[in-house]
Structure 1
Amino acid sequence: MPPNSRFRRALRPLTALLLAAAALTPVTAAQAEPTRSAAAPSSGWNDYDCRPSAAHPRPIVLVHGTFGNSVDNWLGLAPYLVKRGYCVFSLDYGQLPNVPLFHGLGPVEKSAEQLDAYVDKVLAATGADEADLVGHSQGGMMPRHYLKFLGGADEVNALVGIAPSNHGTTLHGLTKLLDVFPGAREFVDENTPALADQIAGSPFLTKLNEGGDTVPGVTYTVIATKYDQVVTPYASQFLDGPGVTNVLIQDKCAADLSEHVAIGLTDRLAFHEVANALDPAHAKPTTCLSAVS
């Protein structure tokens, strides 16, 4: 077999990994407008003049997923929460040089440091003592490093993870192929550190989950779908420990067919569960009819 053919075959599993990760963020109008700033206020969120109300005293910080950004990942959920009276903010993190719009690719530990600084900025602007965090995919897992190792538990009341990569992913077994083809794992480690960190059994995840999934003083909610094709097996998303609520969205509505992308971007049943987690005193049962509420 010619050398070039062998090289192409060696790259196939790596290509599959990257394509699966890229599925976290579909192309949207925001990506088609390169002059648009991902940090700009959008439909009422990222408004630093917003002051939390007595009904909703904590600002919400939205944490995008791998290959996402602070706008595209939240075109559905951010306006949903703003309409309900929350001060809502979203950050970009995990940027790589010369890679615009597609973020969440840098080392997860460094991304957690960016989240730490951003929460400080939001608290200073709003005058609140604590924030609530809502994250999709990596964005639901990465804040746990901030909570556990960077003092975030003193600044955060609740973490809501939508399809979070809490215990990593096997990508239906594809990650095992990285060790079959010489250089594949090293390529992922060097070029997309966040993908390497999210592989089940990675050194980062081993450290993160040692000693328990949670820290005192923070409530945790995980919202998962059994049709998730990116963070697999889907049950690996769930957490164990005090103050944890694990939700399988199909237990609320068996007809919900959302997969990894849709549950974070468009699924109003998931949004309803987010709202319940943020304001448990006024939670309302989530049913199939919540899609139009």
Structure 2
Amino acid sequence: MFQTQWHLWLQHTFDAGWMLSVMQFISLLGYEMAYTALILVCAFGARLRAGLCVMLAVLLMACATHAIKQSAALPRPSDVDAAVLDKGEPSHPFVVDGGGHTFWSLPDAQATTMLRAQPHADYGFNSGHVGITTAAGVALLLAFGIRRRWLRWTLVLGWPVLMAISRMYLGRHFLADVLAGWLLGIGIGALAWQLMPGLRGERRWQLPALLCLGVALAWASLCTPLVPLGEASRLLALGLLVAWMQWRGWPADPQGVVQRVLRVLAVVVVYLLARPVVGWLADTIPLPDAPVTELLWHTVGTLLILGGGVTLARWIPRGA
């Protein structure tokens, strides 16, 4: 599954310039900004609780992907084969032909060792694009109770397969990478649905489990490079927000088109203002230059965005 013949076949068979642009566009939809937009629209333009479930799935998958990448520390196809293009450009591999020579063999050991020696190595296994795409799709399906068969298949299989093909076409991931991301994404999407209070009924263990998970990952991000600090802090902020709304009550979901649009626009404005506000606070308040300070400001920034959006959602009347 770490062979490069799949990539060479894709790149040589579909070598038109327009295909490269299509594959790059599909991959672009797997980055943070695209999922931020999806979460804000789902949470504030549709159902807040379900939208936050999608956010939980994305953050959990991002943490899992980072931990696996750092632990496995395996190269990308463009790191081991000079014939594989890297995003449409000639690659600069550590070895000339170091892909797996059988279906179950790993990439060339020398290439793996050379990659791990790099100060800021960019590891491949597993695919974060495919994993987050799948986790978000499964969370959407379960949290929103989607019943249309074609849409269910699109979210769980169709869109992840397109993302997987784009990542392989661009020389960024092996077949093993995208398969691992897909399988893990299914599990984490279902886990997020189980953890979010109110989606499967109120269960006493859900909120404590969500809060403990946020605290544990935040602590781990300060102690080990296996957990990304940014995603862990956002997960902690999400848990705190959910706890606050479980206590104060959740705002009613929007009903009309106008109210949906106003709520989304309101949270987008809050999102655009939150970063400069947090930056100003960080410059004004003297705190030590340490990871815990970075964790604090990431958490505060996420709370400002989500909490501000929820507050504005309560103010915008249902009849708007």
Common fold: TM-score over 0.5: no
TM range (shorter): under 0.3
Q: Which has the larger radius of gyration?
A: 2
* Structure with the bigger percentage of helix: 2
* Structure with the bigger percentage of strand: 1
Relative to the length of structure 1, the TM-score reads 0.25
